[in-house]
Amino acid sequence: MVRDGLDDVRALLSGVLPDVRLSADRDLGGSDRSRVSRVHARWPDGAESSVVVKQFLAAGEGWAREAAALATLPDEAPVPRLIAEGAAPPVVVATDLGAGSSVADALLGDDRDAAVEAVLSWAEAMARLHRSGLGRRDRFRAELALRAGDLPVVDHVMPAVVDEAALLLERRCDELGVAAPRGAYSELRQLARDLGAGENASISPSDACPDDNVQTADGLMIVDFEGAQWRHVAWDLAYLSVPWPTCWCAWRMPADVSERALERYRHTIEDALPYVRTARFRTDVAAAALGWAMVSAAWLLPEALDDDPPPRDPAKVMPRRRALILHRLDVARRSAAESAPARLAGQLRSVLLERWGEPPLGYAPAFDSGHAEPGS
């Protein structure tokens, strides 16, 4: 008998739909944490369709977070619908959103107008996602608790993420002889607590990268919730100005495109979240951009100090680490010139410039046509 890797999924679905028939269709890739595939399904009523099966390769938080987020979000959310899930082995079966293009496809293309529209669609999709999650924190916590077992899976992780990054930065700055301004690390940690999980928060995928979405007839849909958490909306919106701090497709974007996208987000959600009409919203997005710039620089520094190798995957068109670090430190130092973390970013950047020179971070290929901005 030919093994197609779907036995666990068949066993899972048999308890709900005993007569469903599955056959392997296409491997959609994945990571060192999960494997994603499109599977053809023949349902008990004779109908046929495809579903997406995400098999998690190791026990951990990823399955619990993804299943909990999809179980929490209502039908109007721009995400796949959860069909079934299993804990042993960890697997999620969801509706197939199709083979549409992603924002990354547009950014790596050669059509500037298409790239602009893709980024605007991303902002609108994030607004729809945040809107659909508003007020559902208790439900999300309960869904996480159902799946967490003995794991300490908390619903809000940004303070821990920033704490860890601040510790990494402190170590590297000490090694490089960078004397941090008084209070720099404590202010950075406080930033994460100020942008907490209160009333201006919603469900976030945590890693809303340009390739974690699919264009459909109903608009852009967001996929990949294995890092899902409850957090302040500013953390997601800051992806437009850093940009894309947790992603491989982290090229620069023109400031006017980022601004238009932010306005698209505000227009889409403002009736449900009036906070986005306030000056505080802009301040918070800038603070989140400072936070992401420092966090992502901390993550990239260890390998970049030793070397600046090309991407491990030659098929991926992506920036080099040193260019990313210098650009993100520049974002941080410009974001709040009087803050101690911003001054630390400027000092660290100056030291790194002496070591590396200034490798430029280019614009995403779709925007890279001699584009220049003041101060760039």
Count of residues for the chain?
A: 376
> For residues 229 and 130, what is the distance between their CA atoms, to the nearest angstrom?
12
Q: What are the C-alpha distances in Å from 33 to residues 26, 54, 149, 224, 337?
A: 18, 10, 19, 12, 39
CA distance 145 to 149: 7
pLDDT in tens, 225-249: 999 999 999 999 999 999 999 998 8
Torsions phi, psi of 226, nearest 5?
-70, -10
- Determine how many CB atoms are found less than 10 A away from the CB of residue 229: 25
Q: Residue 278: left if φ>0, alpha if ψ -120 to 50, beta else—which one?
A: beta
SS in 3 state form for 6-36? CHHHHHHHHCCCCCCEEEEEEEEEECCCEEE
**DSSP per-residue string spanning 38-78:** EEEEE-TTS-EEEEEEEEESSSSHHHHHHHHHHHHS-TTSS
- Report pLDDT digits (tens) over 55-108: 888 767 999 999 999 999 999 999 999 998 988 888 899 999 998 999 999 999
**Strand, helix or coil at 96?**
coil
Supply the pLDDT for residue 279: 95
pLDDT score for 374: 39
Give the list of residues 6+ apart from residue 17 with CB closer than 8 angstroms, or none: 43, 44
- Looking at residue 160, the DSSP 8-state letter turns out to be H
Looking at residue 18, its pLDDT comes to 66
Work out the mean pLDDT of the chain and round it to a whole number. 90
Q: What is the pLDDT of residue 238?
A: 97
Number of other CB atoms surrounding residue 81 within 10 Å: 13
Phi, psi of 218 (to 5 degrees): -100, 15
CB 329 within 8 Å of CB 348: yes
- Please state, in angstroms and rounded to a whole number, the distance separating the CA atoms of residues 204 and 358: 34
The pLDDT assigned to 308 comes to 81
363 forms beta bridges with 252
End-to-end alpha carbon distance in the chain: 61
Residue 1 has a pLDDT of: 36
Q: Which of 268, 253, 276 is nearest to 124 (CA)?
A: 268
What is the three-class DSSP state of 106? helix
Q: What DSSP element (H or E) covers 127? A: helix 112-133
Give me the pLDDT at residue 376, please.
Answer: 41
Nearest to 293 by CA among 257, 248, 246: 246
Residues of the chain falling short of pLDDT 50 = 1-2, 372-376
Provide φ and ψ at 214, rounded to 5°: -140, 130
- The structure tokens listed for 113 are 């107008």
| pTM of the predicted protein model | 0.91
Residue 364 C-alpha from the chain's centroid = 17
